[in-house]
Structure 1
């Protein structure tokens, strides 16, 4: 790896995770790098619009060009582009918000958000990054990932967001086995108190799982019977159709066949 590039990426990550504003000294301590080196990297990133310096505090924060890069990624993300219509159809059918997400390391990145049909105020969640073990989207992907990838996820850090977050390797592995058997995953207040999710995996033309689609909403609406079973059927059918739209062979989406 090119060390300068790696350090520049680490700076952006620090600003994204621990920011919004950090000074040269703070960044140097976090990266374990000399202040002149960090300052030179920041100046380069600033020239490219990746970071900006606050005039009052002289600290740095993420820059506007990152929005352009993020939008470019979304525009070229095939799963997202194929999912637009399917997500809208599922939102109308379920009467709930729908998220489409792709795996990024040990998190799930929301690349599309179809709003709940009713006209209440809703917050766009595109760009949200959620620990895989705390959401139905992540569990749907992990369950159908290759064995070595699933083992890596189960052996890694299992994040706690609420008291309901599952952090035990064995209980989580058992849950993933159930997801593979039934073709959909559930989330019960594991990311946020009061929220739930029902999601199913999406496969590409090679038969590999590339993401997930699911409904999200209040736990009392999503997980109470018979709503849960009805939503599970709708989510699996949508995931299967989306997988076929991506060119997935029929056998690859057997978990979403219902």
Structure 2
């Protein structure tokens, strides 16, 4: 006779093992993305706290799916081409990105600066679109860049208009130092967020990269929730010098408002959770 209790227990146990395997595979991919160009089985096992045979089995599975690749000379592993396909699919299906293409290009032409569109992922912002500044100097494509939220105007714009619980959690978390002007005092950063909520835009002054500055405004969707931010990025002497600073702030806020309407937002809401 079938023991329903045993069957349920076995099902639960199998599900837990599956979830654990997925988490471990995700941890391997994160380590390969942050820990260097190539890592060996022993290094990965030490970093994620899992036995070497388990890591080796997971790597073989990930390799078969094209998510990691093994160097034939060193035997170490790196991220595989399959991730690029997944990343491109994410960008192609991301509504904020697809809706922002025209608005970002227009803002870049009007401002003469590069324009970034970003979303918040954990305690970082992820750049999902980058419109180059119009002039033809060498520029690096920044789509896919991950930046600590506290060191960029995009992150401040999103957090200032997001739920109060998220704001409190992020302020209580790690505030990385990327340059000498990165803000590490939660009280100072909280005051900046209050200012962002009042003015409608955030400012970065060489906090992630020396010599660069940014101005960004939040973008909302049809549910009036903040879903990301759009902003200009460029040399500090151009972006933050008056009267250019005020002119750029107006352009950025107008563009964010129009992009929000394109996403279905009726108006730009006040900061959520206030």
Residue aligning to 1:151: 168
**Displacement of 1:119:** 1.1
Residue aligning to 1:25: 42
Match of 2:111 among 94, 118, 122: 94
Larger Rg: 2
SS in 1 for 2:78: strand
Supply the RMSD in Å over aligned alpha carbons. Answer: 0.9
- The C-alpha deviation readout for 1:23-79, integer Å capped at 9, x for no partner, is 000001111111000000000000000000000100000000000000000000000
State the number of aligned residues: 254
In the TM superposition, 1:6-85 aligns within 5 A as 6-85=23-102
Structure 1 residue runs of 4 or more that deviate by more than 4 Å after TM superposition = none
Question: TM-score scaled by structure 2?
Answer: 0.91
Question: TM-score scaled by structure 1?
Answer: 0.97
**Displacement of 1:21:** 0.2
Residue aligning to 2:11: none
Structure 2: 5+ residue runs without aligned partners? 1-15
Confirm or deny: 8 A CA contact 2:100 2:117 kept in the other structure.
Answer: yes
**Displacement of 1:19:** 1.9
Q: How many angstroms apart in 2 are the aligned matches of 1:26 and 1:3?
A: 20
1:108 and 2:150 equivalent? no
Structure 1: 5+ residue runs without aligned partners? none
Q: How many angstroms apart in 1 are the aligned matches of 2:263 and 2:243?
A: 31
Q: How many angstroms apart in 1 are the aligned matches of 2:214 and 2:268?
A: 25
**Displacement of 1:251:** 4.7
SS in 2 for 1:166: coil
